[in-house]
A = this chain, B = another copy of it.
Amino acid sequence: MKKLRMATPGPTQVPNEILLAGAQEMIHHRSDLMKKIMEEINCELPKIFGTSQDVYILLSSGTGAMEAAIVNSFNPGEKVLVVSNGYFGERFVDISKMLGLEVITVSSAWGTSVNVDEVKDAYYNHPDIKGVLVVYSETSTGAINNVKEIGTFFSKTDVLVVVDAISGLISHDLPMDDWKLDIVLGASHKGFMMPPGLAFVAISQKAWIKLEKVDPRTYYFSFKRYKKFYPMAPSSPGVSLLLSLKKSLEILNKEGLSECTSRHKKIAHATQSALEALGFPLFVKQPHLKSNTVTAAFAPIGLDASLLLKKLNQNYGLTVTGGQGEFKGKMIRVGHIGAVDEIDLFGIFGALEMALNEMDYNFELGSSSRAINKTIDRGVIPYA
């Protein structure tokens, strides 16, 4: 028997309850029963975003939601500022350019967080920008951006703040209304512990005023159509995924959102400690910038990261992802978002130690397990 496990930043493992909820008998998407289910979902979902606004559910990946946010919010030729410190920040740039926007960027090195003062300076130099696009938790590096400060700053302007919170939602605090964020994006296969397939978009009143002035360039992703059909979907929705979502929201509700976020913090910290115990230098240095969703770490000198990931997969059935972009082959990224607890971590690091031992890497057996145990015992270290 070879059991398959994942320690990936999405798709991540899905609890059986959620999988089986999606395997219920099909419901017609225009039926009264579907309407009832949508109303229940639409009552709970905004709480996750910390908003009093409606949240729309797209049938797409997170990338679709990124495109939808941009194409609905900005006309071609308008200028946006992308805050970029990784792969998904670069995706914001690519999509914006493809859609004919003028793009300026404020970047920082991968593994760091963008300096908010530089974002403010960019605004002073380009007061004609219409939007700021920022990734909250950068899955490619495990660094978070200070979207709270960005949101608060731009709330005094007419600039929209669009936040890719695809992995950052649930795993981190994100009270959209309090932080004055305008468009917040989420996706099902991250903190919601679901299969991929649904994306979420929460839209502020301020954003709606701007949206109304944008020429329609998409039918499928049109937020105006979503609004018109709300709480139902404008075209065939992902019925099975919506049934899973209902169960996901029940589970999140039972745990409590803040408890869930605390668990993510605790598990992230334990992962960081365990990797350091094994001699893996963490990619993100500053404690308060570390994402609770994924921990990226360099392979120790002399250790082949790609071979390690291959061994983990082939010999122990464990999928761990590697570096993206220029860090391909140089690092490992251990995902710990969603339905992950410390017992999972013991298994993940047990497999990692076995693979390292097989590769004749010099380390103390059991040291990662000890680090996890000690960190969990100490409780959560409050980061932010």
Contact = CB atoms under 8 A, between A and B. Distances in A.
A205 interface: no
A6 B32 CA distance: 13
B11 A29 contact: yes
A34 to B, nearest CB: 9
Q: How many copies does the complex hold?
A: 2
Given A11-B236, A11-B239, A61 B220 contact: yes
Interface string A1-31: 0001010101111101001101111111111
A220 B11 contact: no
A67 B26 CA distance: 26
Nearest to A243: B195
A379 interface: no
User: Secondary structure of the A side of the interface?
Assistant: loop
Interface in A19-55: 19-20, 22-33
Interface stretch (A94-102, A293-301, A347-355, A359-367): A94-102
Interface residues of A, number: 57
Contacts of A258: none
Contact of A98 (B11, B12, B62, B218): B218
A2 to B, nearest CB: 11
A236 B187 contact: yes
A23 B234 CA distance: 26
